[in-house]
Structure formats: structure tokens, C-alpha cells
Structure 1
Amino acid sequence: MESVRAVADWPVDNAAVAVVAAADGRVLGSTGPQAREFRLASVTKLLTAYATLVAIEEGAVEWDQPAGPEGSTVRHLISHVSGLAFDEHKALARPGTRRMYSNAGFEVLADTVHEASGIPFAEYLTEAVLAPLGMESSRLAGTAGAGGVSTCADLVRFAAEVQHPTLVSETTLDEATSVAFPGLSGVLPGFGHQKDNDWGLGFEIRDHKSPHWTGKNSSPRTFGHFGQSGTFLWVDPDAGVACVALTDRDFGQWAVDTWPAFTDAVLADL
């Protein structure tokens, strides 16, 4: 793919990128060190969310189970409306009233799954998601919100999974990639205030956000996440494709300038 070859022009020392077809999980184009380990930063939240979906289906936890600040539930935590601060276990708003992106909320979410299952969350994530998908080079080395380590080759497997789920039902995945608590405003980190800062159950949803880290031509149903370590994973259901990108340069203006145009080039290549 011409779009993937253009990654060589990104202002990074190392980048591993792959485009994954929805139909069969086939890699349509790739570049860079596919087996190299990278820090995921907030792309970790996709893995944490998926482990939570497994826990929901296993009956270990329930969406409306109280967790976090008073009035908050598992559903509030995973969709960033619990009211918890970004990196502090401190409530700044009533649950369900504002979309406040929160690493602390994902820490509480992981603790809730741990307490309910009796298994430390890093182990639960491995047993529920990483091992079944053959993601042997992936692990949770830090917090459940930002401490993941993985490779492009492993995330290709995850990208295939979230296009055709095998570990959870399609109904559960559909709910997770649909807007939870619609109509809430908030800040999309790195891209400013959004009137409708739509999020699913752990998956950020593009909808009509502007500016955004995906492309102008990405469908509103596009979902995924990006990380401050210069990483992203998006899935565009309407285009039938997903894309993984891992780099060794922290997110900054270079990513704001590069990623949307790259995404549109990938879609144009299909």
C-alpha cells in the first residue's frame, strides 16, 4: 500500500504499522519492526476494556455494579463518566454528567475486576485476552490505563478480534463500540474540547469530532484509541479495515499533523 510506504517519512526513529482487513484478518500492508516491543500508553485501555467485556460475559462483574465514587458503576468507569479526575482518585463531577477522561477510573475498573474474579488484573488480562489471541509478546507492565507493552504483530491479532470477535459475543462488542451516555461534552486529550465527546465502553468513537486523530474521511462509526507514546489502533467498520501504528516518539504536534492525513490515505488505498 502506497500509504503504508509513506510511513518512512514520519519524524520518528522507529515505527511499526499494519493495515488489517475485516473480512479475514489479512494484513493488507505493513512496515517497520513488527516484532519490536513498544509502550502502548493509553492504547492499553483497549486491552483492559476487552478483558472487562470478558468479565461481564463470565458474570464476574456487571455493568450496573457500584464501583468508584458514590453513584458510579462499572459502566461509568469504563466510559469515562465516573467523575474521577485524570490521574487522581478524586471525584470532580457527579457520575454521568461529564465526559472526564480518567486513567484513575481505569485503575478502579481493573481493581473491581480483580476483586470480583480473585485474580490480579494483569493475570486476568493475560488469561482472558492475550493468551487466547496468541499475543505472546504483550503484557501489562504498569497501570491498567497506560502500562501495556506490545508489538505490532500482536496488535494485528487484536485488531482482527475486534472486527470479528471470538472471545465475546458480537452483541457485547456492538454495545462496547456504540456511544455510552450520549450528548456529554468533554476534552479529548491532545485535541481539545468536544461538544459531543462520544465514547463507548472503553473504545473512543470518532462520530463527528473535530479535530480528531483519525481522518476526515473516517466513518463516524470508527472506534479505537491513541496513546501518548505515539501509538494508535483504529477500526473503521464501514471501510472494513483496521490500522495499528506503534512508534518510539511521544505524541505531539507531529502526530496531529501526520495521523489524520495518513488515515485518509489508507482509506483511499482500499
Structure 2
Amino acid sequence: MNPLQRVLDWPVPHAAAAVLSPAGLLAEIGDTSMRFPLASVTKPLAALATLVAVEEGAIELDRPVPEFAPTALDPEPATELGPMTLRHLLSHASGLAPERRRRAAEVGTRRIYSNAGYDLIGELVTGATGIDFAGYLAEAVFGPLRMGSAELAGSPASQGIGSVGDLQALLAELLAPSGLLHPDTLRDAWSVQFPGLPGVLPGYGSQRPNDWGLGFEIRGDKQPHWTSARNSPATYGHFGRSGTMFWIDPQAGLGLVALTDRSFDDWAIKAWPELSDAVLDSFG
């Protein structure tokens, strides 16, 4: 039985899903060409484009932001909060508030999930490359991976649009890299940055630690969580408030993507781990 069959029973208007291994597609269900608002699943896509810009030498991961964008932040408080870098921004360790370009904590001391930080990333990449971030994302990621219906329609934090077919291409690249990024860069993206930082995982409360890579959330030992308790600690991915999610479990050698058009709430908290369990039972 196709473990994705349970997606058809979800209380959502529309849904589609797919499971992949390094060898390719294992199962899919629903209209995989239907485009959905990706919400925060946009962030790892934006992060990959940013890492392409890093590899091209347009921008640096560990150079203090004020050195190359001195007016990027709101006026700073009087106390010294330390240098913020692109690495901090990508891993939600910058100390920026969730929705404002203002420091809410000292750099590198807490994991504050910041949409404002990702909007800033988009502007920094645009400034460094001379290309509008939506266009750069299309050139750097969507084009090479043949994500033909994907687009960025606004904020790099939350306004991506795409289909399960598009996300299958992303998962395929993460499971069996073809050269979008150097292997060392990819390992960095899904490795914990600034280990041990506490923080709040949206929808799931305080986590100690609240591990993140460069654009990807890392499961670690988080509980509760939107993946299964049986997913390995190395599992990485993202979910979005629009009812979208994907994960890669390197230990199981599997990737799962599920997109819907019902906002995240209690239905997803129950359904997503159950789906993950079914996928691991069938293919793990």
C-alpha cells in the first residue's frame, strides 16, 4: 500500500505528496503539478540561493553585516551586541526580532526565528549581485534544478510558490547532489550552526537546544516536533504556516514532501508525524 494514501484523508481542500530516495521517486499522490503557497518552506530555497552567491564570491558568510551594508539595521541600542554575519542570519542566530530589523538578543546567544532576517538576506544578496533576489533565486536554484513552476512572489522569508513536482527536484538534489553546491557547502547547510542555542520553534514551543543549519531546521532531539520521533536526529527540512513541509532523513536515506492549502494548526500537528511514521515503515 502506498503510505501516502493517508494524505487523501487529511481535512484539507487539496494536498499532494511524494517520497524519494537517492535512487529517485518511490511514491507520490495527488496533483504534483498543482502550485501551493510555500510559506516558510521558502526559507531553505532562499538559503540555497544565498549559498550559491557565497560560492560565487559575491558575498561572505562570516563578514560582519555592517561592513558591507552599514544601513541594513534599524538604529542600534546603546549596548554593544556583537557582530552579526550572514551565517547568523541564515541560522536564526542573529538576535534580530521576528518581524523587525532590531536586535532582540545578543548575537549568537538565542535562536530567534526571524522573518525580518530573511528579508535582510534577500536585500544583501541583491546588493552584492546587482540582481533582484527573486531573479537570482530563479537563476541560481530554480533553473539548474528544473523547478519549472516555482517562483518567488515577494519576501524570501515566506512568499515562494511551487508544486510537489518542484520540491521533488529539490529533494532529489539534497539526497543525491548533482553539483548545485560544493559538497562541503551542503554539509554546512544541514549541520548545526552555533550548537546549543535555545529558542522557540514556531508552533511547538521552547526547545533546548533549538538546532538549525543554514536555512534548514535540524530535528536533533526536539520534542514535540512536526517530524516523527523515529526520524533520526540528523533529519533536516522545514515546514510552513500554509500547511507545507518537507524533510530529508540522511540515516533512512529518504525525503518526504507534502503540500496543502490549509493553514498549519492541530490537524498538521497530528497528521505530519503519522505520515512520517508510515513513510519510514514502508521505505525505511
TM-score by length of 2: 0.92
Q: 1:196 aligns with which of 205, 209, 212?
A: 209
| SS class of match (2:124) | helix
1:66 alignment partner AA = P
- 1:126-205 superposed matches below 5 A: 126-165=138-177, 166-205=179-218
| SS class of match (1:263) | helix
1:164 alignment partner AA = A
| SS class of match (2:175) | coil
d(CA) in 1 for partners of 2:242, 2:63:
32
CA shift, 1:89, in A, is 1.6
CA shift, 1:225, in A, is 0.2
1:266 matches 2:264: no
CA shift, 1:105, in A, is 0.4
CA shift, 1:2, in A, is 3.1
2:13 corresponding residue in structure 1: 13
Q: 2:39 aligns with which of 13, 38, 41?
A: 41
d(CA) in 2 for partners of 1:63, 1:38:
31
- 1:54-69 superposed matches below 5 A: 54-67=52-65
| SS class of match (2:222) | coil
CA shift, 1:77, in A, is 0.3
1:255 matches 2:253: no
Deviations 1:43-92 (A, max 9, x none): 00010011011111111111112226561000000000111111112211
1:4 corresponding residue in structure 2: 4
| SS class of match (1:162) | helix
Q: 1:103 aligns with which of 115, 118, 138?
A: 115
1:4 alignment partner AA = L
1:234 matches 2:232: no
CA shift, 1:120, in A, is 0.7
2:181 alignment partner AA = V
d(CA) in 2 for partners of 1:21, 1:163:
7
Q: Which has the larger radius of gyration?
A: 2
d(CA) in 2 for partners of 1:84, 1:164:
34
1:225 alignment partner AA = H
CA shift, 1:107, in A, is 0.6
1:219 alignment partner AA = S
d(CA) in 2 for partners of 1:169, 1:71:
27
CA shift, 1:265, in A, is 1.0
CA shift, 1:195, in A, is 0.9
Aligned length: 268
d(CA) in 2 for partners of 1:167, 1:197:
28
d(CA) in 1 for partners of 2:85, 2:176:
28
d(CA) in 2 for partners of 1:228, 1:246:
11
- Which range moved further: 124-133 or 163-172? 163-172
Deviations 1:182-228 (A, max 9, x none): 00100000000001000001110001000000001100000000000
2:138 alignment partner AA = T
1:204 alignment partner AA = E
2:98 corresponding residue in structure 1: 86
| SS class of match (1:132) | coil
1:71 alignment partner AA = P
1:248 alignment partner AA = D
Runs of 4+ with deviation above 4 angstroms:
none
d(CA) in 2 for partners of 1:253, 1:85:
26
2:195 alignment partner AA = P
d(CA) in 1 for partners of 2:52, 2:175:
16
| SS class of match (2:248) | strand
